[in-house]
Structure formats: structure tokens, C-alpha cells
Chains A and B, each alone.
Chain A
Amino acid sequence: MVILKQEMKQGRLTLLLWTAIIAFMLGVCILIYPEMESQMNEISSMFADMGSFSAAFGMDKINFGEFGGYFCTECGNVLGLGGAFFAALLGILALAKEEKEQTAEFLLTHPLKRTTVVAQKLASVLLQILILNAAVVGVSVLSALLIGEKMEFQTFGLLFLAYFILQVETAAICFGISAFINKSGLGIGLGLAALFYFLNIVANLTKEAAFLKYFTPYGYADGADILANGSLEIKYLAVGLLLTVIGITAAFVRYQNKDIA
């Protein structure tokens, strides 16, 4: 647990900042809903009629006039994208930073199994994602209460769960990559998160590109789809979970035999 504790301590400022920013933006987004609501009914039909642009952001499937619809398109992106960037950042730095900062030689000449190091670093990544999401959910529920909107557990719970899994998947893939590199890899991590996001937008545009949803966690964490269907798309989720397992396994296997730079 020593490494986990250390990682949490080292990462607390980053975690605090990201959590504060995402929670703040989400909170503001919710708090301005009453003002938007009156205009939303008109906007909603307009948004829904913008053809492929509407489809790209899932706006053809939902009603903006309702809080749920507003939340999952306007607010959801804040957590969907912001959370993914944070998760990518955590994952990609977790192992590689020790070599980049040249602290690996210090850490790994202590009597520790490499698997212990990987496991505790992974635990810290997951714990930080969990903390961010818990705080964000808390702030969201509070903000919704303040404006007198109810967040039905069925849909909103599913939405938050989807974003959480999305972040875990992104982090796990980046964590796997982290075991192979000895530079910061920040560009790879953030690039990957952005790529996932845009893959889903492209997938939403045409039926021919719909298969791309298999390759991005946004495939199952698409707020509009979740709201419309009331469930996560299992086939996309399954691929996501598989990639998560692959990422984590790769990290353990690779780090076990890695030559430390």
C-alpha cells in the first residue's frame, strides 16, 4: 500500500484541479438550465433539423426540452471528454513517469515485486478516477436539486456509470501503453482520448461508419443513445471491457520483464 499512498499523495493536486474544473463546469451547466429551458423548445427542433450535424452529436434522438436531454448533450460532454482526458493522463503517466523522471532506479531497487508496483499504481489510477466521478456525481445531483430537477436513477445512474467505464477503459489502455514507453507519452494519451471521441462522432454520421463504435468507448457511453434506449449497448461495452483487460494485462506482462532505462 506504500506506493498507492505515495501515488495518491503525488497526484492529489492534479486530481483536485481536474475534479474541481469538471465538477464546476458541470454544475454551472446544470444551474443555467432553467434559463435555457424556455428557449430550448425552439432550439430543440432547430438542433434536431440540422441533419448530419445533429446526428453527429446525437441531437436527433433526444428532446432538449427535457432536463435529461439537455444534460446528456450539453453537460455529458464535459464529463465524457474531460474525464477521458484525465483518465488518459493518469494512465499514460502511471508507469512511464518513473523512468522519465529517472526515479525508477530508486523505486525498483527496493525489495518490491514489479507486479506489486504495477498493481498499486493501477489501483491509484482507478481510485483517482473513482474519486473524480464521485465528486462530479455529487455536485451534479446537488445542482439538479437546486434548480428543482430530478435525476432519475435509472437514466442518470446509467449515464454516470457509462462515463466511469469509459474513463476506466481509456485509463487501462493508456496504462498498458505506459508500460512500453519511458518518455512521458502525454501526447499519445491525450491524442488517444481525442481520437476515441471523434471516432464516435464519425460513427454517428453515417450508417457505413457505425462499426467504428466498436473501437471507441464513446460507442457505449453515448448519452443520447443511453437516454433513448435506457441501456448501454452491450456489444460495444463488451469490446470496451476486453480492451480494458488487454491494457491491464499488457502492463503487468510487459513491466515484469522491462529493462529499466
Chain B
Amino acid sequence: MTAAACINGAAGSYETWPYKENTAPQRKESEHDMNIIQTDALTKFYGASRGISNINLAVPEGDFFGFIGPNGAGKSTTIRTLLGLIAPTGGSAEIFGKEIKKQRNEILADIGYMPSEATFYRNMKVREVIQYSAALRGKRCDGEAEELCKRLELDTEKKIGALSLGNRKKVSIVCALQHKPKLCIFDEPTSGLDPLMQREFYAVLEERNAQGTTIFLSSHVLSEVQRYCKHAAVIRQGELLVSDSIANLGQAHAKRVSLRGVDAPPALDGIKDIKVCGDTVNFLYSGKPEVLLQALATLPLADVNIAEPDLEEIFLHYYQAD
């Protein structure tokens, strides 16, 4: 059985953990206004191949939101759909309560976006690109741009073609922040930045966040998400697996239990996130330990493993295709 088939095979009884907010954060109509980003079964297929499928994402205003997933999970596809670069094939999405397709320009006016590939016009100077970006917004942001360049130690007289990836990323950061947007969307922002610059970058973001700017960033670096984000969502194979606060995600109420030699978990309360693959059953257990152990003693097990799910483990669990 392939990995994908394992997941799909268990999908019928598939419940994500933590259990309160699973793949579809069901929010009431009245709460919609509070969410900066709200997607409803957002789907993008490229012909027959999957981009993202039924993404229900809710990012509250003022949040610092991490969007986590392995390469090819659909992070960029989700972001690019939200920004109107690609059109969804199903579902809908709103940013600032505005429909992403019909009110794209109004939305983009208040967004600062940093793409994962920081590519610009090679023969332009850094200063020219930054000014061009501001001009495309019909704004002048010289003061803010200058300060950002200073903080990020960016030489504005250099040509784009002569810059390293890290320095191009800095240009991207300045373009995304100079007009003081209400929402920042960053796609893998820190790759290519040295650790000191990463710290400065997050310092800027935290300041902006404190001033009320909502930050939405995709990453596969767990430590930075855990450190800076308030909420996070995990995406894998185009599907949103979980969306919750970092605190909840990191709660160690549950144990990860892996059993070999059976094809179903014991019938106990507090079992979540069941996955069956061949003769191995994997689930999260949040009930009493002795109850679990008694139940396990009656099963013909070839192997058993009970472990603490730290944040990394939880994310890795969502990452790995078993």
C-alpha cells in the first residue's frame, strides 16, 4: 500500500488532533469580519493534478500566523491563489472581508507580499526596484524604505543582478513592508538570510505585529514558527490538516501510540488521529494511561511504542507520508 493510499484509506474515520479545531474551523457568520483571511473549501487543480483541495483557513486580525508544510504541500499554491496570481478551481476566499477575485486590487493595496523566489529586473538598481514597487502602488515610501534598508543592511546602489539570494530577499522584504500594509504574506521568508538577518527580520515583523499588522508566513522551519507565531496551520498534500494556536498544538496532553500487529486501535475514549497502514495502527491517546495499558495487554501486538508528542513530532507527523 502506498503512503498516499494509507492516508486516504483512513480518511473515513480520520480525525485530526487537536480535536476542537480540525481541518475546517467552523466559524459563525458574525465572526467572519474578525478574520483577515477566510477561505471556504478553497481548491486549485492544475488539470488533473492537485494543487490544494478544500482548504478552510481562518486567520484572525492581528495574528502572527504560521503556515507549515513540506515542499510541494501546497503552501505557495494557497498563497498565490489568495493573491489572485492563479484562479481557484473551487471554493472561495476572502481577505479583509473582500472576495479575492472580484476585489483583488483593493485587497492587494493593503497587502505586502514576499514571494519565496525573490526575483527582480536584473539590470535595475535596488533603489529603483524599491521605488518602482512604491510607484506601482501610487505611493511614495522613501522614509520607510530607507529605514528598512538601513536595518537590513541593504546597499541600494547595487544592481539586482549582482545580488546574492539573501540580499534579493532583503529587497523583497523592503518592497513588502515599505507601504505599511495591513497584512503581510511571506512565503518562506528566511531561506537565504543569515541568522543575524533572520533575527532582525523577525524583530521588524514583531514590531509591525505589535502595531496591528497581521502576519501570515509559510515556513518549514519549525523553530521559527514555534518561536514567533501565535497560530499555525499544517498543510500536507494539498490538504489542511490542523489549524490551532501554537500553545494548543504543543500541549502534551496526548501520547502518540503506535501498535504493530493489529489493524484497528482498541475501542477506548480519547483516541484521535487514527491512521492505519498495513498491520500498524497509529493514534493519539489522551485518556488514562492504565486504561490504555490494560487494553493493549489483550491485543496480539508485535511491537508497541508510546511517546510524547512535542511540537516537532506533531508537525513531523503531519509532514511525513507515513
Cα of A77 to Cα of B24 in the assembled complex, Å: 66
List chain A residues, Cβ under 8 A from B133.
106, 110
A110 touches which one: B87, B115, B122, B137 (CB < 8 A)? B137
- A sample of 13 cross-chain residue pairs with beta-carbon separation below 8 angstroms, ordered by A number, consists of A2-B135, A103-B120, A105-B85, A105-B115, A106-B133, A107-B136, A109-B115, A110-B137, A111-B106, A111-B108, A111-B109, A111-B136, A112-B136
Contact A6:B132 (CB < 8 A) given known A110-B137, A111-B106? yes
* Chain B 71-121 interface residues, beta-carbon cutoff 8 Å to A: 80, 83-87, 105-106, 108-109, 111, 113, 115, 117, 119-121
Asked whether B105 lies within 8 Å of A109 as measured between CB atoms, the reply is: no
B123 CB-CB contact with A under 8 Å: yes
Q: Count how many chain B residues have C-beta atoms less than 8 Å from C-beta atoms of the other chain.
A: 26
List chain B residues, Cβ under 8 A from A110.
108, 133, 136-137
Cα of A226 to Cα of B69 in the assembled complex, Å: 66
Q: How far is the CB of A115 from chain B (nearest CB, A)?
A: 11
A208 CB-CB contact with B under 8 Å: no
B257 CB-CB contact with A under 8 Å: no
Contact with A along B44-86 (1 / 0, CB 8 A): 0010000000000000000000000000000000001001111
List chain A residues, Cβ under 8 A from B246.
none
Contact A259:B86 (CB < 8 A) given known A105-B115, A110-B108? yes
A8 CB-CB contact with B under 8 Å: no
Asked whether B85 lies within 8 Å of A106 as measured between CB atoms, the reply is: no
Asked whether A257 lies within 8 Å of B87 as measured between CB atoms, the reply is: yes
Known: A2-B132, A107-B136, A112-B105. 8 other contacts (CB 8 A): A10-B121, A103-B119, A111-B109, A112-B136, A113-B105, A259-B87, A260-B85, A260-B86
Contact A106:B115 (CB < 8 A) given known A6-B132, A10-B123, A101-B121? yes
Cα of A109 to Cα of B111 in the assembled complex, Å: 9
* Chain A 84-119 interface residues, beta-carbon cutoff 8 Å to B: 101-113
List chain A residues, Cβ under 8 A from B113.
109
A residues with CB within 8 A of B: 2-3, 6, 10, 101-113, 257, 259-260
Cα of A105 to Cα of B121 in the assembled complex, Å: 12
Contact with A along B139-183 (1 / 0, CB 8 A): 000000000000000000000000000000000000100000000
Contact A102:B108 (CB < 8 A) given known A2-B135, A3-B136? no
List chain A residues, Cβ under 8 A from B120.
103, 106
List chain A residues, Cβ under 8 A from B105.
111-113
* Chain B 256-302 interface residues, beta-carbon cutoff 8 Å to A: none
Q: Which of B83, B115, B133, B136 is the most central at the interface, judged by chain A CB atoms within 10 Å of its CB? A: B136
Asked whether B136 lies within 8 Å of A101 as measured between CB atoms, the reply is: no
Q: How far is the CB of A207 from chain B (nearest CB, A)?
A: 48
List chain B residues, Cβ under 8 A from A112.
105, 108, 136
Cα of A6 to Cα of B115 in the assembled complex, Å: 21
Asked whether A101 lies within 8 Å of B119 as measured between CB atoms, the reply is: yes
- Cβ-closest chain A residue relative to B110: A111
Asked whether B87 lies within 8 Å of A103 as measured between CB atoms, the reply is: no
List chain A residues, Cβ under 8 A from B175.
106
List chain B residues, Cβ under 8 A from A6.
132
Cα of A109 to Cα of B194 in the assembled complex, Å: 26
List chain A residues, Cβ under 8 A from B83.
109
Cα of A110 to Cα of B178 in the assembled complex, Å: 13
Cα of A112 to Cα of B109 in the assembled complex, Å: 9
Cα of A103 to Cα of B175 in the assembled complex, Å: 13
B85 touches which one: A3, A10, A101, A109 (CB < 8 A)? A109
